[in-house]
């Protein structure tokens, strides 16, 4: 009988994550129930003030906006990414097409945000071009509004959605589409009723890969948006660094974490079933 070295292998990582991941999260949970310190930090006194503060209308507006922006941006991203993933999967030059998607994906995050400032900014490319043709939009700004934030978020997270969608669609047996067509389905029906159920796993992954980072977005609304496109991520950051209300920052973080965790687990519970269907390649089977 061989000896069990499992713990020996896993202990270093378990310790690291316990100290630097679990402990900080627990501290945040604890802080959200403590009294705010005068100059940042907390005082060791039980208080629910942070949760009361969270119910103020300004914060609620931001929360609703965050949810709204995340949903709109995620749906747009997925709808654009689906045909892209499909077209890569059916292409003969998969490698070159993936290369084209991955270059912007691997280009630095801030460089890509900055590129949009260079395009849409007041002295940016679009405004210069408009001036050249004699059209001067006085007082109108392309940047610093909700639309710009959504546009740039979609831009940032498109590759995150295209890649998992591609890898699932690539495993899909395309002859099933032809079979559906032969059996009288329209083109749209064959995509929606035959392909979509089979690639659900990939769609779920793509949704998670886009929704989670967008929901916690910080840099894009900060640099692209104005004061009225602030999202929860920005509020958390301000509470930590400027207002120094750590209990409130902790309480908002906890809420964001809980919302994320709940949505992931709702999705994750569904996922094994879909993967099973994928393996069976049984488009009409029970699900």
Partner 1 sequence: MAARNHGLKPLRIATLFYARRLVRKSAKTAAKLMPKKVTGSNIIFWIVIGFLFAPLAVLIIYSFNKSRSGEWAGFSFIWYQKLFLGSPDLWKAFQNSVTIAFSSAAMATILGTLAAVGTARYSFKLKSYVSTMSFIPMILPEIVVGVSLLVFFAGVGLQLGMMTVWIAHTTFNIPFVYLLVSARLEESDPTIIEAARDLGASELQTLFRVIIPMALPGVASAFLTAVTLSLEDFVITFFVSGPGATTLPLYIYSMIRFGVSPVVNALSAVMVAGTVLLVYPLRNFLKVFAAR
> Contact, 162 vs 269, CB < 8 A?
no
Of the candidate spans 51-59, 133-141, 177-185, 255-263, the one that interacts with partner 1 by CB under 8 A turns out to be 255-263
Task: With H, G, I as helix, E, B as strand and everything else as coil, classify residue 34.
Answer: strand
Of the candidate spans 25-33, 142-150, 178-186, 278-286, the one that interacts with partner 1 by CB under 8 A turns out to be 25-33
Closer to partner 1 by CB, 234 or 283: give it.
Answer: 234
Q: Is residue 216 close enough to count as binding partner 1 by CB under 8 A?
A: yes
Closer to partner 1 by CB, 192 or 261: give it.
Answer: 261
Q: Is residue 140 close enough to count as binding partner 1 by CB under 8 A?
A: no
> Closest by alpha carbon to 77, among 142, 148, 159, 143?
159
| Site for partner 1, residues 66 to 95, rule: CB under 8 A | 80, 83-84, 86-88, 90-91, 94-95
Distance between CA atoms of 211 and 147, rounded to whole angstroms?
17
How many residues bind to partner 1 according to rule CB under 8 A? Answer: 94
The Cα angle at residue 175 between residues 174 and 179, in degrees rounded to 5: 125
Task: Kindly tell me which residue out of 52, 60, 71, 110 binds partner 1, with binding defined by CB under 8 A.
Answer: 110
Task: With H, G, I as helix, E, B as strand and everything else as coil, classify residue 166.
Answer: helix
Q: Is residue 262 close enough to count as binding partner 1 by CB under 8 A?
A: no
Closer to partner 1 by CB, 162 or 194: give it.
Answer: 162
Of the candidate spans 48-56, 99-107, 135-143, 178-186, the one that interacts with partner 1 by CB under 8 A turns out to be 99-107
For 52, 193, 219, 236, 247, the CA distances from 240, given in Å and listed in that order, are 18, 48, 15, 6, 9
The answer for 139, left when phi > 0, alpha when psi is -120 to 50, beta otherwise, is left
Close Cβ partners of 85 (under 8 Å, ≥ 6 residues apart):
161, 162, 163, 165, 166, 168, 169, 202
Closer to partner 1 by CB, 73 or 101: give it.
Answer: 101
Of the candidate spans 47-55, 124-132, 192-200, 278-286, the one that interacts with partner 1 by CB under 8 A turns out to be 124-132
Closer to partner 1 by CB, 16 or 68: give it.
Answer: 16
Q: Is residue 107 close enough to count as binding partner 1 by CB under 8 A?
A: yes
The Cα angle at residue 183 between residues 180 and 184, in degrees rounded to 5: 95
| Site for partner 1, residues 193 to 212, rule: CB under 8 A | 208, 212
| Site for partner 1, residues 153 to 172, rule: CB under 8 A | 155, 158-159, 162-164, 166-167, 170
């Amino acid at each position: 009988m061989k000896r069990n070295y499992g713990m020996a292998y896993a202990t270093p990582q378990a310790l690291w994550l316990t100290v630097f991941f679990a402990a900080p999260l627990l501290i945040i949970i604890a802080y959200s129930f403590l009294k705010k310190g005068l100059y940042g930090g907390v005082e060791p006194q039980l208080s629910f003030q942070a949760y009361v503060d969270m119910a103020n209308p300004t914060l609620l507006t931001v929360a609703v906006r965050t949810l709204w922006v995340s949903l709109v941006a995620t749906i747009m991203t997925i709808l654009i990414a689906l045909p892209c993933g499909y077209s890569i999967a059916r292409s003969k030059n998969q490698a070159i097409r993936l290369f084209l998607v991955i270059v912007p994906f691997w280009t630095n995050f801030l460089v890509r945000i900055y590129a949009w400032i260079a395009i849409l900014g007041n002295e940016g490319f679009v405004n210069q071009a408009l001036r050249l043709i004699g059209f001067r939009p006085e007082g109108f700004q392309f940047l610093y509004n909700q639309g710009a934030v959504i546009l740039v978020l979609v831009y940032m997270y498109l590759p995150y959605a295209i890649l998992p969608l591609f890898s699932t669609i690539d495993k899909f047996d395309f002859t099933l589409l032809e079979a559906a067509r032969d059996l009288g389905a329209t083109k749209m029906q064959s995509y929606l009723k035959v392909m979509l159920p089979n690639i659900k796993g990939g769609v779920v992954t793509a949704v998670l890969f886009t929704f989670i980072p967008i929901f916690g977005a910080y840099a894009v609304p900060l640099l692209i948006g104005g004061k009225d496109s602030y999202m929860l991520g920005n509020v958390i950051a301000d509470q930590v660094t400027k207002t120094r209300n750590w209990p409130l920052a902790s309480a908002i973080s906890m809420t964001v974490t809980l919302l994320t965790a709940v949505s992931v687990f709702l999705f994750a519970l569904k996922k094994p079933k879909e993967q099973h269907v994928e393996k069976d390649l049984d488009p009409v089977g029970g699900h």
